[in-house]
Each structure stands twice: as structure tokens, then as C-alpha cells.
Amino acid sequence: MANTSNSSNSTQDPWTIVSRHKKHTKQQPTRKAKAQKPRPSSSSPSSLDEADIITILDRLRRNTTTWLTSPQHTRLSAILSCTAPPSRAIIAGLGNLDPSAPRDHHRALWQLALFLGLVRIFHPDWDPLTNLSTQLTSQPPISLTAQDPVFTPFDVETLSRVGITVDANAIEHANANTVLFAPFVDAVVLMPQILKGRDMSVYIGTDVHEVMERMEMSGYAAQ
């Protein structure tokens, strides 16, 4: 597994996602991940506001352009230059793109921009953001899936516009030809539910060594 972390969804417990801030105190994982129920939504795909979807996708386009022209993207491209192109890419724990959750959707938009940029490292001719003014779905060069128990119908529809399919069991399909992008997933979810027993081509996300240290300090790792 190539771990470039600079920085299976359990059938019983939804994931708990945490945010990182530049200034923070060291947090200890709890003995049991706090259950987080999917957010209710009264919208169905047919009743979603098309203008809101286009607005979110336009912001995604700007974020992706910024990321693709950044020195960090150039450095990541160099790191992965000798990695064989994957057949599948998964983004886990994205959060909500839905503008009704302001903090979530700003963070999620940047994470999604990085994910699309990651795929384009292996397939530079693919641009999923060319048809944002239409309802055409961009066909990706590889299988692109997203998994997060908090997704709403708005999130599902918006992700589909850039060729990403929401799959509640996406992690279960990860293999040696998979790229996994999972930033800011809580330690007690990341190790036992996502990374344990899986050997992926590339993992980008929370520093595994940091996670293990935190879990050992709390005594959780022994479990």
C-alpha cells in the first residue's frame, strides 16, 4: 500500500467524521464511536433545485482549478508518477455538499476537488467539469464511488453529475487496484472498518501512525 498521507461502512454503526483545525488540542478517541444517523431530507432527486446543484458544481469547478494549478498537486503527481493506474477510486467520509449544511459543504467541496484531481493524475484527459451547465453525467475512465452515511438525495444527484456513484458498501470493493481518499475519518472507524485487512494501491488520508499512537494512548488499540 502506498501511503501518501501528508496531511466498510459498518452495518451496525454509521461513521463518525471529525474536522481538523489549524489550532487544536489533542483528542482521544472514545471507547465507542458515537452513532450518527443519516440526515433526513424531504427532497427526492426529481424535486431537487437544479440551480443549487449548478451553483455547487460551479464552486467545485473553481476549487478544482485552484487545486490542479497548485504546487501541492504538482508534488502529489510526482509522488504517484510510478504508480500503476488504478481501476477504481473511492472517496470515503466526504460529508455533505448540500448547501443547507454550510460548514460541511465548503469542506466537502475542497475534498471532492482533491479527489477529482487525484483521478486526473492517472487520467489527465478526463475533465468531469465540462458539462456543468447541462444535466449530462460525465462518464469516468474508471469506477468512481463515494461512501458516507450522511449523504442526502442532493449529494447523490450532485456527485452523479461528475461521474461518482454513491455506494453504501463501496469500501467492501476495495482491492489492490484501488485508490482510497479518506481524509478526516475518525480513528475508531478508519482502522477497524476501513483499512483493516485491505491492501490498496494508494491510500490518502489521516496519518496512520498518528492514529495508532492516539489509539494506543487511550487503550483502544488493544481491542
Pairing, β 143-147 against β 165-166: parallel
Query: What does the pLDDT read at residue 182?
Result: 84
Residue count (the chain): 223
| Residues ≥6 apart with Cβ < 8 Å to 3 | 203, 208
d(CA 203, CA 197): 13
209-217, Cβ contacts within 8 angstroms, sequence gap of 24 or more: 211/187, 214/26, 214/27, 214/28, 214/29, 214/187, 215/29, 215/187, 215/188, 215/191, 217/28
Query: What does the pLDDT read at residue 31?
Result: 40
The tens-digit pLDDT sequence of the chain (223 residues) is 555 444 444 444 555 444 444 444 444 444 443 444 444 444 444 457 888 998 999 999 999 999 999 999 999 999 999 889 999 999 988 989 988 776 678 889 999 999 999 999 999 888 877 765 555 556 788 999 999 988 999 999 999 989 999 999 888 888 889 998 988 766 555 555 566 666 777 888 766 566 556 656 666 555 5
Query: What does the pLDDT read at residue 214?
Result: 61
